[in-house]
Structure 1
Amino acid sequence: MNSLHVVDLTKFYEDMPALETVSFEAISGEFIGLLGANGAGKSTLIKCLSGVLAPSSGNVFFNENSIVSNRTRCQYSIGYLPESPSGYEELTVTEFIKFSAASHGLSGTEYKQAVLLALEDLQLKPLSKSRLADLSKGLRQRVWLAQALVHNPDILFLDEPTDGLDPIQKVALRRYILEISRDKIVIMSTHILEEAEAMCGRLLVMNEGRIVKDGPTNDFLDGFGKLESSIIDYAS
C-alpha cells in the first residue's frame, strides 16, 4: 500500500500566497479530484506535489520519502501530466516516449516493452513517426499522457487532462485513465464538474490557496446527484 502525506504546503510568488498550509493524505486506490475557481491554487498544488515546483515551506512525502528534498529518488514512482503541455515539438511520438521511459530509469527489455505498451495502449502506433508539432491538441494530449504512464508509476498527477478535447476524445480518455488507475494514487485537477462526478471518489475543494472542503464525492452531491450547487458554495 503506497501513501502520500502532504504537510503544511505553502507557496508564495513574491509576496502573494498561491498555497497556504495545505495538508492531506492519500493511499493507493484513491482517485482524488481538485476543484476550485481559476486561481484557487490547483495547478500550483499539482506542480508542488509532483516535484516540478519547490514549495516555499512544508513537505510532501511519498512512502516516507520527501518529494521536495529528494525528487530524483521519487521520480520513478511519479507520473505527471501538466496543463496544456508543450515542448519537445521536434521529437517524434516514439522518440518522446523513449525519452520519458529512459528519464524515469527504464532500460533494456523493460524499457523496450514499456515503450511498445504505451504506444499500443493509447493507440499511438500509427503516429509513431509523427512529430509532436504536427499533432492535433487531442492527439498531443494522448502522447503526453503516455509519457506520464510509460514507467507504470504508483502515483499520478493530472492537471486538466481532458482540457480542449472534443466530447468523444474526453470520454475515451476518461475511460482509459480509470482503467489504468485502480491501484494507483491519482490526483486530478479539473474544472469540469461532470468529470469529477464520473471519475473521482474523493474531492478536495480549493479557494484562495487553501483546501476548504475534503470528503467523498457523494457528500457533495445535491438531491439530483450533481455537484454544482455545493461546489459553488465551498469554492466562493
Structure 2
Amino acid sequence: MIEVEHLSKIYGSTAAISDITFSVEPGEILGFLGPNGAGKTTTMRILAGYLPATKGTAKIAGYDVHENSLAIRQKIGYLPETPPLYPEMTVEGFLHFVARIKGISAGDRRQKVEAAMQRCNLQEKRKVIIRKLSKGFRQRVGIAQAIVHDPPAIILDEPTVGLDPRQIIDVRNLIKSLAGTHTIILSTHILPEVSMTCSRVAIINRGKVVATNTPENLMTQLTGGSGYELEISGEPALAKQVLQNISGVILVESMPTSDHYRPHLRVISQPGTEPGKDIAAALIRGGFDLYEMRRVSASLEDVFLQLTTEEKQLSPETETTETETTETEGETI
C-alpha cells in the first residue's frame, strides 16, 4: 500500500532524511519510531504531498506522490502533529466543510460525516465549537477529518503528543480500530505507543532507517532475546567465569547495586534456549549463594536506545547512521 524507496530530502548541505526505504502492507499499522529531529515529520510531509523529495520515490496505492499529487490526496488521510482545525467552527460544520473540499458528493456527505463522528465518538460534541473542546477531543476531530472520505491509507504524525493518560488510551484504541480496513503509518517517539498499537516498526535515526521488523523480532535480533537477573554472594568475576561456560549463555554482565555483599548479574541467553536450571546448578556447585533469580525479557526501549545511540547494522533492512538532522516546525491545513 505504501512503498518508499531511497527517499532523501536535503536542505542545502543538510540531509533531513537520507536514502530511506520501507513499506507498509495493506491493513497494517506501521510505527515510524525515532528521537526528535530524526526525520519522522519530514518523511510524513513528503508522503502527504506537502514537501517534495530531493531524491527517491514514494508510492501510495500505486500512485507516485510527486507525479500524482491530487490522486494521492484522495487516497490518504493526514493528521499532522498540530491538528488542522478551524477553532470557530462546530465539530459537525467543520467535518462537512472538510468532506466538501475532499470531493465527497453532496448525496454521500452526511453519511460520511456521521460515520466519521461515530467512529471517533464525537456524536455528543457535534454542535460544540472546536475551540471549546479539550485537547483529547480536538485530536479526535483531527482524526475524523483524516478519515471522513474513507481513505485506504492514513498518515498520523505524533497523534497522542500532549494528551493525558486517559486521552492517550482513547486515541490509541481508536487507531487500533482502524487497522485492517485502513493502512496506517504512525509517527511517534513514544515507545509504549508503538508496542501497544503497531504490528511492525521502522526505526529512524539521524535521517536513516536503521531497522524495520516486528517489535518481537527486533528485540530478539538486537538483544539476543531473554535472560536472567541474579543476586548472589561471592566474587562477581569468578561467578562470570562459571556462567560463561554454560551452554546457551552468550553474555554475563554486572549490574549496578548498592549492596557490595550481594552482587547483581545479568545473563543473556541465546534465542530459543532455557538455561535457567543450569545457571542455578552451576552457581551452587561453585559455592555461590543464589538469593534471587528473575527471568527478564528485552524491551522495545532496549532496542530503541541501542539503535539510536550506536552505529549498529542489522540485516536485511538496516543501515548505519551518518548525519544528524533537524526538522522544521509548523504545519499546514
After TM superposition, the score normalised by the length of structure 2 is 0.67
Give the equivalent residue in structure 2 for 1:216.
214
Question: Secondary structure of 1:235's match?
Answer: helix
Give the equivalent residue in structure 1 for 2:19.
21
Q: State the Cα RMSD in Å.
A: 1.6
Q: Which runs of 4+ in 1 moved over 4 A?
A: none
Question: Deviation string for 1:43-65 (max 9, x for gaps)?
Answer: 11111112122212222112331
C-alpha distance in 1 between matches for 2:71 and 2:84? 25
Give the equivalent residue in structure 1 for 2:258.
none
Matches within 5 A, 1:65-80: 65-80=63-78
Shift of the 91–187 alpha-carbon distance from structure 1 to 2, 3 Å rule, reads same
C-alpha distance in 2 between matches for 1:8 and 1:101? 34
C-alpha distance in 2 between matches for 1:67 and 1:42? 17
| Contact 2:22 2:202 (C-alpha < 8 Å) held by counterparts | no
Question: Deviation string for 1:180-235 (max 9, x for gaps)?
Answer: 22132211011211111111111111111110111112112353252011111112
Question: Deviation string for 1:102-157 (max 9, x for gaps)?
Answer: 22221133211000111222222222222222222111111001001111110111
C-alpha distance in 1 between matches for 2:84 and 2:156? 15
| Alignment partner of 1:63 is 2:61 | yes
| Contact 1:160 1:190 (C-alpha < 8 Å) held by counterparts | yes
| Contact 1:81 1:161 (C-alpha < 8 Å) held by counterparts | yes
Give the equivalent residue in structure 2 for 1:51.
49
Matches within 5 A, 1:35-184: 35-184=33-182
C-alpha distance in 2 between matches for 1:182 and 1:225? 28
Instruction: Report percent identity of matched pairs.
Output: 35
| Contact 2:24 2:185 (C-alpha < 8 Å) held by counterparts | no
Rg bigger for which structure?
A: 2
Q: Which amino acid aligns with 2:81?
A: E
Larger relative CO (CA 8 A, sep 6+): 1 or 2? 1
| Alignment partner of 1:231 is 2:304 | yes
| Contact 2:30 2:198 (C-alpha < 8 Å) held by counterparts | yes
Structure 2, unpaired ranges of 5+: 220-224, 227-296, 310-333
| Contact 1:106 1:151 (C-alpha < 8 Å) held by counterparts | yes
Shift of the 108–87 alpha-carbon distance from structure 1 to 2, 3 Å rule, reads closer
Shift of the 121–183 alpha-carbon distance from structure 1 to 2, 3 Å rule, reads closer
Offset at residue 86 of structure 1 (A) = 4.4
Structure 1, unpaired ranges of 5+: none
Q: Which amino acid aligns with 2:202?
A: L
Q: Which amino acid aligns with 1:114?
A: K
Aligned mate of 1:32, from 21, 30, 33 = 30
Question: Secondary structure of 1:58's match?
Answer: strand
Q: Which amino acid aligns with 2:10?
A: F
Moved more, 112-121 or 7-16: 7-16
C-alpha distance in 1 between matches for 2:300 and 2:135? 28
Q: Which amino acid aligns with 1:27?
A: E
Aligned mate of 2:202, from 201, 204, 208 = 204
C-alpha distance in 2 between matches for 1:185 and 1:126? 28
